[in-house]
Amino acid sequence: MKRFMTFLFGIIFCLAAIAVGGYLYVRSGHMPVATSAPPMPFEKRIAGMALNAKIQAEAPKDAPIQPDEPNLTAGAQIYAVNCAFCHGLPNQTAAPTAAKGMFPVPPQLFEHTVTDDPVGETYWKVANGIRLTGMPSFSKSLSDTQMWQVSLLMAHADKLPDQAKAVLTPNAAATVKK
């Protein structure tokens, strides 16, 4: 029994030492929090696992609206106003200025087309945002229909109608009403 108590005390002591060490590490200011700092070990893996599990559990499977020309064009207008600032436009030569100072750097969605992402996954990201990335939740600033329209735009980015493509040119995007 004495051996078991010693073993148990050792485990409790080790766990307490790890907790105190972690607290002191954070409290001392050594933990990287600036966007220019490199990620902590396993930061990407742990955050990615948590995000993927949450999306898998909560993302809707099907869109309640059709990917027709009016919805895709409306999605392009929403994208131009709310998303292009960080995620860029098709055929844009350089990442938007805001994207250069963010960590992690927001993906340039038309450079690395997200058409293989299920539309429900994109909708979940638009509606909920992604913690610690700069990706905001749009659930309080866009209607449900608008979030679906921009999600459908991304899901069909490789086969957009001409009217939607026209909205996503740099000159047109600059004039879209906010």
pLDDT digits (tens, 9 = 90+) for 15-67: 999 999 989 988 998 888 877 788 887 888 888 899 999 999 999 999 999 99
Give the pLDDT band (50/70/90) at residue 1.
confident
- pLDDT exceeds cutoff 90 at 78: yes
Report the share of the chain in percent with pLDDT over 70: 95
135: three-class secondary structure by DSSP: strand
Rounded-to-integer distance, Cα 74 and Cα 51, Å: 28
Q: Which amino acid, one-letter code, is at 66? A: Q
Rounded-to-integer distance, Cα 163 and Cα 175, Å: 15
In the predicted model, what is the mean pLDDT of residues 125-143?
94
Give the pLDDT band (50/70/90) at residue 105.
confident
The structure tokens listed for 145 are 């229909």
pLDDT, residue 131, reads 87
The domain locations on the chain are 67-175
- pLDDT exceeds cutoff 60 at 177: no
Architecture of domain 67-175: Orthogonal Bundle (1.10)
Mean pLDDT of the chain: 89
Give the pLDDT band (50/70/90) at residue 137.
very high
